[in-house]
Amino acid sequence: MKIINHSLMALLLFFGLFTGQALLAAEGAPHKVVIQVSTDDLRTQTIALNNAVNLQNALGQDNVQIEIVAYGPGLGMLTSESEVGKRITSLAMQDIQFSACGNTMKAVEKKTGKMPVPLEGVSVVPAGVLRIMELQEQGYAYVRP
Higher pLDDT, 8 or 53: 53
Tens of pLDDT, residues 71-118: 999 999 999 999 999 999 999 999 999 999 999 999 999 999 999 999
Residue 113 lies in a domain: yes
In sequence order, the 6+-apart residues with CB closer than 8 A to the CB of 61 are 94, 95
Residue 123 lies in a domain: yes
61 belongs to a structural domain: yes
Average pLDDT value for the chain:
86
* Residue 6 domain flag: no
CA distance 48 to 43: 9
Q: Is residue 1 part of a domain?
A: no
Is pTM, for the whole model, over 0.75? Answer: yes
CATH number where 98 lies: 3.40.1260.10
5 within a domain of the structure (yes/no): no
Total domains present in the chain: 1
Query: Do 74 and 45 form a contact (C-beta atoms < 8 A)?
Result: yes
Domain range for 47 is 30-143
Q: Which of 70, 64, 29 is nearest to 48 (CA)?
A: 70
Q: From CA 139, how far away is CA 89, in angstroms rounded?
A: 26
In a domain, 25, yes or no: no
Do the domain assignments include residue 125? yes
Collapsed DSSP state (helix, strand, coil) of residue 30: coil
- CA torsion 123-126-131-137 (nearest 10°) is -130
